[in-house]
Structure 1
Amino acid sequence: MRFQVSQAKIGSGKGIGAHAGLLLLLFACVLPAKAQEQVDAKRAETVKQLDEIAGQISLSSERVASLDKEIADLKKDQTTITAALIQSAKTEKKLAEDIAGIGDKLTDLREREDGVKLSLRERRGALAEVLAALQRMGLNPPPAILVRPDDALASVRSAVLLGAVVPEMREQTEILIADLKELTRIKTSISDEQTRLTAALSGQAEEKKRLDLLLAEKQKLQSTSEETRKAEQQRSEDLAKKATSLRDLIASMEQDMEEARKAASAANQQEEQKLAASQERADNFASNQERLSAKVNFASLKGHLSMPGAGKLIRHYGDDDGLGGILQGDTLETPAGATITSPTDAVVLYAGAFRSYGQLLILDAGNGYHVVLAGMKRINVSQNQFVLAGEPVGVMNEQLVASTGTVQMGNGAPMLYIEFRKDTKPVNPAPWWADRLAGRTTNDT
């Protein structure tokens, strides 16, 4: 009896066998099931990693020495130092925004990574079946079908069955290979973003050091004597203790400045030594007011002011404050230790602690307008000092300050509370903020 030998065709069986090793490796790498973490948990993980990397970054002694020389070579005058401060603060703010963007991207990539892993875990059964079939086909290829004249029908049935099963196996294999490639691509992207993050954090650390050196240099150039500065600070603290509200504080500080002006007009009729301190206060105030009045009216700056720090607005004027009232300002969630800048040219009316506001800064923008900033760890300017838009005025905490009652919200990130006031009454800051594209301010006021 003659036998006819025919090899069953199994499509791209050769290609499927070639992927068996990759799929076997994938199967071995799939970890035990683990619940997918929520978005906020992923953000917390990213922030923790960012903090860990930032904590490990330190400037070399050579770089610090280079920065010292850079500052020493600057022309020692107020204009040069202030310009350098504004540029450095702008650079640090840009780096902070880049770091926040990288953090968001890392959070998204980790969510997608978890999604792919979850998909693979949910199809572990199908993966095991495909792998088993591929292994068997790879080690023991399907035998030739022996076709006997008296059993041709059974042979045809076997070939049809094999032809129906193989395409489904091929489809499953292609899906699993695609998941493996996506997982590899995501892991590569995460590694690239972590490299960018480290570089941005290193640059930010350097810029913060430059800011510190410039601020120290500017303090040396302040015209107000140390004795007068301390007297001003004490006077401000005394007025703050008596004030029962922010409105009262602004009114009392304005009244104090009015008294300084009156003291100046009477200075030429009294002993110069006795009124030296008052004369100095009045002269500084008059000079600052003259500079302020020469600038553009604050009301005309609507749509042009930059945010005082990197971050995002999470609460707005008019929102429910959670205490039965409404918010009288905006709340900006900032990165830890963010540099805060003045949104406009102004004279410092008050700088110091005040009730539940914590460290409070009040800027006199002229024509009855005031900008109030609260929630900072440190304020770098003093009363009666003139500041330009973009000039650094303080630094945020590493986390939310418990004493800052106005901003009790969020996930523990630092919060900067911002109020605009006209004739001591709160007004909505929204019309003043410049359009923000891609998370960054678009103006350089």
Structure 2
Amino acid sequence: MPVKTPTLTGMILLAGCLAMLTPETARARHEAVSAHHGKTAHVSRNALAAARRKKAALVKRRAAQSAVIAARKKTRDEAAKDAAASAQKARHFSALTEQAESELSSTEAQIALLTEDIAALTARQKAQAEALARGRARLQALLPVAVRLSRYPGTSFISLSGQASEAVQGLSIIAGLARATARQTRDLAAQQVLLDKTAQTLAERNEALQAARGKLATLRDRNARLSREATRAQEEAQARASAAQREIASATEKAGNLEEAIAAIEKTQADIQARLAQQAEALARRHQAEKAKDVSRQAESLGAGDGVSRGGGQGPVSGTVLTGWHQHTESGPATGITYTAHASAIVRAPCAGQIDFAGPFRSFGNMIILDCGHHYRFVLAGFGKLSASSGQHVGRKAVLGAMSAEGGRLFVQLRAGSKAVDPRPYL
């Protein structure tokens, strides 16, 4: 290829460029490059520091989550232990009650048998006494003659007759009469022995009857006392539970928003547990161990349900999903699921537990906060009417209420402590 010769214009431009590369210009360019590199290094250091902060926050958050999981596991284990203790106590009391009732029934049956036996013995005693009296009367009529004849048989008979042959025959008659009288006397003696034996047996039965009646009265008193104690303990526990629920519901009503309501419930529940624990300690110091155990178990049972479990994907109400979990809304990602429910559709409990709050709340309309246990709570809002009330225990799929006749929207949120979590796996 032919070599191109630089033109005059090109040579002038090249000379101008070379003239611009003076020492001052070169130094300025070097400083600019250095400043750029310094700025880049500063940005890199900031990014590294930010990454380290994020890592530290993540580690801290994971540690906090681990602590929460450990605390929940401990609470669950304690709740299971308390539930087992309560069940054992209930079985023990039931066994005591059944034993007392069995003893009561057995004693009543014994009294009935003794009463029948005594009636039969009394009738037998009366018959024996009458027979003995008749025998004595018959013997009493013959006794003077028999005594005289037995002492002076020959003289007595001869004085009445005067014939020797008749006297011999009379002696035979007198001997037979004496033997008959002696036999009758022996029979009377035997009848007296039977009568005495019947009287002794009757006395023993009457004594046993009195003892059975005393035992029956003791058993009835004991059963009545056990029943009163059980009723009183149940009433006291119910009063404590009702007071706790009123306090929780009141704290919820005063909250400004849903987050504050959940926080108020958690705090109020913790305060109630602390008060009940102090009350249990005071009862223990006064040597009221059983009452102290009852109060302590009630304190530990607050929020100690089974928690949430996997659902069948049906949802708590018939309808369609309007807003899904974390779906973008005007106020940010959705913190729950909103259903467009059918008219008058029944709303069912997504878990078993106790209702912390049921009633109107701010802009949510009729709302229910259902404590599932282990600090998990379902929030359901938008009911047309409520069928459950604060403090009520409900089972999974139990009816909580219904939508209005026009249908409407049901908002469902699941809280793990104060944090909203995805409810879909548990519906």
Category of TM-score, reference length = shorter chain: 0.3 to 0.5
Structure with the bigger RCO (C-alpha within 8 Å, sep 6+) is: 1
TM-score, normalising length: structure 2: 0.38
Structure that is richer in helix per residue: 2
Larger Rg: 2
